[in-house]
Structure 1
């Protein structure tokens, strides 16, 4: 029987503590996303029992109700009618939820939001810098060539002008004009100022400005991060306030002028001196932590590093790494991250080799390779965290490797990469110790996982496949063909608890090797996510399908995704539906495993997974037995 959308919406509303307890509401491809004033007033148990609601959980300040593709949008429309609320975008709901989070959590999230978009530039520059330095050391004649000078300029640009990149990204995060943010960043490293990296060798007294009651040293903020972020945050607050009070007829030139002048003055007189000093103390603490007690501090950080990845806090380390390099030294935080990441690779590889369960092997092998290259989310979320013991073994391996790195004084000349690519940025005199660090980290984690993890812990007995009644020859059973090319992942191993649990339907995942989604059958497009990362299809025999690219990719706001169809389009099997950028998804820290579900699987006698291992788009993937 079809779901009564109005009744479902009314029952949901009745358990939310009244209209005054609701802040905003939106929906994505599968979930109703709400922000409430007080979650204690919400009857979670009753919500779980509402017909049509397949699960309820709270995440990042949002109350999320799992309803399903093709249905959630209809329930949402009825919900707006009942509550009298206006439609909100997912960004607005996300912003409202973020405002309710504790201050430390908001601060750390903001750092991540600032740094994630600029990481590709940092990574590219760091790799090029390491490669150019290696070539210069190996070929002395090349070090004095024009090509060396050109490549050195290109590779060092992102680091030399880091405050500008940070300022532009921070302005975007804090809701200000990104070009005004860029101006503030440029002011802080202007050529009329003494380069911060040259102050120590500067001969004579540092020149100053006398501005009102302040004496300001004419020194730039090259390499600094925290003062730039604070300055741009202040700039955004000033700009927003001025937009509200300045008459529109003069807003275009008054607001930018006053914003930049006020922010620049406060930056050089108050913000810069205070927060650059605070940053210096932070870096001193980090250096002390890493080197204290024969590497004991590094041992502790190597152990807990994967947990900060799980919590999404690891991007805050970019501040420390950038500051360490700005101080003219080596990035001694990079070996900690490399040890922790390579240890998770070793643990995941042990699972891949020891497991007799093809489902484990399918996801563990590519995840281990990804971790070896410094991207650990697939290994942590898809394998090690789920099995627990491999995660713990990886933490032990990372701790030992990180302590070894501290004792040996390993450091890097850039940041943004770890693992095997780290050879390109590690200090040229520490390449062999760095190789040993990776061997220790990965080897210890591999050995411990091999000994303590038992394959049967993650390989439950296969459930017998229900045999469907024989169907008439003229009524063929519906088939779902692979919508992507890649490796098949069992549904319960998809690194997203909601999809893995089966509450949204049955099916599988695919770890894609090509960023393209095609129609898995003939049908009609029932929904296309606003952020273009998911699509729903109504197929033969009333079959409802959901294809969801990656995990938590809604947070990318459509960046890297392109929809080639719209809701209501009729499509044929093999027709291209979506394209996506695998590199962007990985750079944003999201697993790329793509979920393929029959969302109304309960309407059928059973589903059989017809493929394992590698699969090509168009191959037979899932057979559906009619009830």
Structure 2
């Protein structure tokens, strides 16, 4: 493969050097922000040697090459385009200017919650491991080792508002440590623990805004959206103060005013209002998922893949974090698994049935990736190009999610789906297997029945035997 020739063809088919705003790459994909999408020939790019898939996400053109190859193509591309190398964060920011409000909101929530995933996964896996060990050896629950490990397992959930606050401060450009302080204020020990409210005889209250109304002195354990809103305001206020406060006293005045104003507004306005909003959203999600006969869960499983295509699926991280913080149970994860496995199985059926070697080489690894929870290669590189496999994946995802709704299973963490999901569904292994099995079989069979080799955009049809 001639990497320079490939890079040159890409440049030529996206409108040339003048149409390029920025470029970066991740482990497998070249990520481009271009000025005018109309000047981009997606079909021609798909036909370039080495390209395994092309798709648009909000504000970005992403070209799949695979690990190792993408680095070499990128190095040649930035030389040909005459641009400097950009980080994926810089590309994301450039792309953000071309997104709608709702897409920017979804991506922002993803940017806040995705970095927290390792902490949530670690805690969730520890919960699963402890539960499994106690099933095998019940006496362990009385041991000192269990006490220590249990402390580890819920640490991320107990202090989740602080983790969210730090991540949000980074996303919104605020001081990370001031963000942490806001998170600490929201779960301060002087506030009544939110998880203790249900069994409490009375809830302490005090007057706010000079007696205008009363607020409950309750912490925000189990809440996520109020933290994000509070830190967003904190970051905007801090940046504004940095501009207007004289440099001589900026170090003292800005942190003081930022914490004082944000803290008071958080406990008196942001917290009460947005915790009410968040509770409504979570109750609505739970209501939908638990509709009789699994109808709501099936609907969610069907529309999950289209939301990935629309680029708004990052908002699910906030939903999952809220579900876990609120109830300790993530009922969304099995639905996401059903949708992901469905798209993977549909791509696998295509890979096994097609006679086109290039499509087969792309679809097979893409399907395996989907079974592990990474669906973009399967969706954008294969299924959405041929439509019918994509629809088959939606049907299978709906059927698998239907089983999830019937059985009411959930996970102890978020951030992982597919086969790795067994690690955080240890109490529902049989049901989880059923969800995966139904999604796989229905999607595979439907895709096999619907798909026929045909000329896809930008490629030659497979030759027929005489």
Instruction: Say which SS state the counterpart of residue 294 (structure 1) adopts.
Output: helix
Instruction: Say which SS state the counterpart of residue 398 (structure 1) adopts.
Output: helix
Deviations 1:397-429 (A, max 9, x none): 01011112112222223222222222232262x
Structure with the higher helix share, 1 or 2: 2
Over alpha carbons, which structure has the higher Rg? 1
- Inter-CA distance 319–59: structure 2 relative to 1 (3 Å threshold): closer
Shift of 1:139: 1.4
Aligned equivalents of 2:411 and 2:86: distance in 1? 45
Counterpart among 197, 200, 207 of residue 204 in structure 2: 207
Q: What is the TM-score normalised by the length of structure 1?
A: 0.60
Contact 1:25/1:88, CA 8 A, preserved across alignment: no
- Inter-CA distance 100–359: structure 2 relative to 1 (3 Å threshold): closer
Q: Which residue of 2 aligns with 1:407?
A: 406
Name the Cα RMSD after superposition. 3.4
Aligned equivalents of 2:98 and 2:385: distance in 1? 29
Q: Which residue of 1 aligns with 2:8?
A: none
Q: Which residue of 2 aligns with 1:465?
A: none
Shift of 1:68: 4.1
Instruction: Say which SS state the counterpart of residue 188 (structure 2) adopts.
Output: coil
Q: Which residue of 2 aligns with 1:398?
A: 397
- The runs of at least 4 aligned residues of structure 1 exceeding 6 Å deviation read 29-32, 87-90
Contact 1:344/1:394, CA 8 A, preserved across alignment: yes
Aligned pair count?
A: 419
Pairs within 5 Å for 1:333-348: 333-348=332-347
Aligned equivalents of 2:245 and 2:124: distance in 1? 44
Contact 1:411/1:427, CA 8 A, preserved across alignment: no
- Inter-CA distance 317–261: structure 2 relative to 1 (3 Å threshold): same
**Structure 2, unpaired ranges of 5+:** 1-11, 42-47, 49-54, 63-73
Q: Which residue of 1 aligns with 2:266?
A: 267
Aligned equivalents of 1:26 and 1:421: distance in 2? 35
Shift of 1:169: 0.9
Aligned equivalents of 2:244 and 2:192: distance in 1? 38
Instruction: Say which SS state the counterpart of residue 314 (structure 1) adopts.
Output: coil
Contact 1:374/1:418, CA 8 A, preserved across alignment: yes
Comparing 142-151 and 162-171, the one that deviates more:
142-151
Deviations 1:83-103 (A, max 9, x none): xxxx99986675465245332
Q: Which residue of 2 aligns with 1:449?
A: 447
Q: Which residue of 1 aligns with 2:96?
A: 98
Pairs within 5 Å for 1:212-231: 212-213=210-211, 214-231=213-230
The yes-or-no answer on 1:125 pairing with 2:134 is no
Counterpart among 151, 156, 167 of residue 153 in structure 1: 151
The yes-or-no answer on 1:279 pairing with 2:285 is no
The yes-or-no answer on 1:163 pairing with 2:148 is no
Q: What is the TM-score normalised by the length of structure 2?
A: 0.80
Pairs within 5 Å for 1:65-84: 68-73=77-82
- Inter-CA distance 175–302: structure 2 relative to 1 (3 Å threshold): same
- Inter-CA distance 446–33: structure 2 relative to 1 (3 Å threshold): closer
Q: Which residue of 2 aligns with 1:460?
A: 461
- Inter-CA distance 89–246: structure 2 relative to 1 (3 Å threshold): farther
Pairs within 5 Å for 1:547-586: none
Higher relative contact order (CA 8 A, sep 6+): 2
The yes-or-no answer on 1:378 pairing with 2:363 is no
Contact 1:123/1:415, CA 8 A, preserved across alignment: yes
The yes-or-no answer on 1:246 pairing with 2:255 is no
Contact 2:162/2:183, CA 8 A, preserved across alignment: yes
Deviations 1:591-611 (A, max 9, x none): xxxxxxxxxxxxxxxxxxxxx
Contact 1:235/1:263, CA 8 A, preserved across alignment: yes
Aligned equivalents of 1:396 and 1:26: distance in 2? 37
**Structure 1, unpaired ranges of 5+:** 1-7, 17-23, 49-54, 78-86, 463-627
Contact 1:111/1:316, CA 8 A, preserved across alignment: yes
Contact 2:403/2:435, CA 8 A, preserved across alignment: yes
Shift of 1:235: 0.2
Aligned equivalents of 1:365 and 1:415: distance in 2? 26
Shift of 1:25: 5.4
Aligned equivalents of 1:343 and 1:197: distance in 2? 37
Pairs within 5 Å for 1:307-318: 307-318=306-317
Structure with the higher strand share, 1 or 2: 1
Aligned equivalents of 1:25 and 1:381: distance in 2? 23
